[in-house]
Amino acid sequence: MLIDQREVLKVLRCPKTGGELQQNNGHLVAARDQENVIYEIVKDYPVLIDFEKSVLKQEDATSLSSVIDRNNYSGILGQVKRLLSPLKSTTIENVQELLNLILTEQDSVTVLIIGGGTVGNGMNVFYNDPRIKLISFDIYASPSVQFLADAHNIPLLDNTFDLVIVQAVLEHVLEPHKVVSEINRVLKIGGFVYAETPFLQHVHEGAYDFTRFTDSGHRYLFREFELIKSGVISGAGTQLMWSLEYFFSGLFRSRKVGKLIKFLFFWLQYCDDIVPDSYNIDSASGVFFLGKKIDSAINLNDIITYYKGAQN
C-alpha cells in the first residue's frame, strides 16, 4: 500500500546533491556549500527534478498534469479497452512470482514503482496489499504517486528497496542504462527488479518515445542483475495487430480508422499463445526481465549464448 507522505519524506534525497532534504516554508531544501537547493511542493506533491539535466520543463512539472493526453476509459469504452488490451497472462504469473519472492521470508517489504502515475497492468496488488510499503513516482501527479521525479536521478536513499518495478517506462527515457543504474543503487543487495519494455511496437506518447529493446538487448541492459526469468510479454500476434492499426491509420490519414482495424483484428493477440516461444522472441511486441541485484555483472560473451530466438 502507498505509505504516508511523512514516511516518504524520510527517504527522499536531493537529485542534485544526494543530500538530505528539510521542509522549510512549503518547500524542500537541500544544503549546498554556496547556495541551498530548493524544490517546490505543489498541492502536497514534492517536485524533485533537476531541470538542468532533464528534457522535462519546470512549468509542465509544476502544473502537475501529464504532458501526454491520458484518457479515462469507463463504461463501454472501458470494456472495449480491456478487449483490445487485456491483462497479459505472463504479467499475472510474474506478479505472483514477485510476491512469492519478496514475501516468503519477510512480513513487510518496501517496493518502488517507477512511472506509477497510472496503475500498470497487474500492479493493483502492490497498492492493496498491507504487507507492502509502496513508494511510487512519475512526472505528473495522480492519486497513485507521492512525488514527481525524473527516473534518471531518482531522489531516494541508496539500498532502500526490496523490489523495483519499471513497467512500460524505459522506452520513454533518453538514457535507459542510467535509469537501470539508479534502480541498482536504490535496491538492497539481494533485492529484485521487474521490467516490461517494448520491442516491436510503434511510437506511442509522441515526442516522449525514444527506445526499443530486443530480448537480448533487454538482458544486457540489466547485465548487473542475476537473471531469474525473462521472455515475451506479448508476441507476434500482438505485434501484427499494432502494425495493422498503424498501417491503416497512415493509409487513410486517420487514427480512428486505425482504431477500427485494431478492433476488428483484436483476436490476433491471442495467437501469441500458439506461436512457439523462440519465434515470439524474434518478433515480440514486448519483453520482460525479472532479476536479482548481485555484486558482479554478467560476462560480455554470455549475452551471445543467452539468445533464445529461432535463428540459431
Q: Is residue 68 part of a domain?
A: no
Q: Is residue 311 part of a domain?
A: no
pLDDT (tens digit per residue) in 7-36? 999 999 999 999 999 988 889 999 877 788
pLDDT at 298 over 70: yes
Q: Is residue 236 part of a domain?
A: yes
pLDDT (tens digit per residue) in 184-239? 999 999 999 999 999 999 999 899 999 999 999 999 999 999 999 999 999 999 99
Residues 110 and 30 in one domain: no
Residues 58 and 86 in one domain: no
Residues 188 and 217 in one domain: yes
Split at pLDDT 50, 70, 90, the class of 104 is confident
Residues 119 and 35 in one domain: no
**Arithmetic mean of pLDDT over the chain:** 92
Split at pLDDT 50, 70, 90, the class of 86 is confident
Range of the domain at 28: 5-62
Residues 26 and 130 in one domain: no
DSSP string, the chain: -BPPHHHHHHHBB-TTT--B-EEETTEEEE--SSS-EEEEEETTEEEE--GGG-SS-HHHHHTTS-SS------HHHHHHHHHHSPPPHHHHHHHHHHHHHHHSS-S-EEEEEET-SSPPTT-HHHHH-TTEEEEEEESS--TT-SEEE-GGG--B-SS-EEEEEEES-GGGSS-HHHHHHHHHHHEEEEEEEEEEEESS----SGGG------HHHHHHHTTTEEEEEEEEEE-HHHHHHHHHHHHHHHHTT-HHHHHHHHHHTGGGGGGGGGS-HHHHHHT-SEEEEEEEE-SSPPPTTHHHHH--SS--
Q: Is residue 161 part of a domain?
A: yes
pLDDT (tens digit per residue) in 165-198? 999 999 999 999 999 999 999 999 999 999 999 9
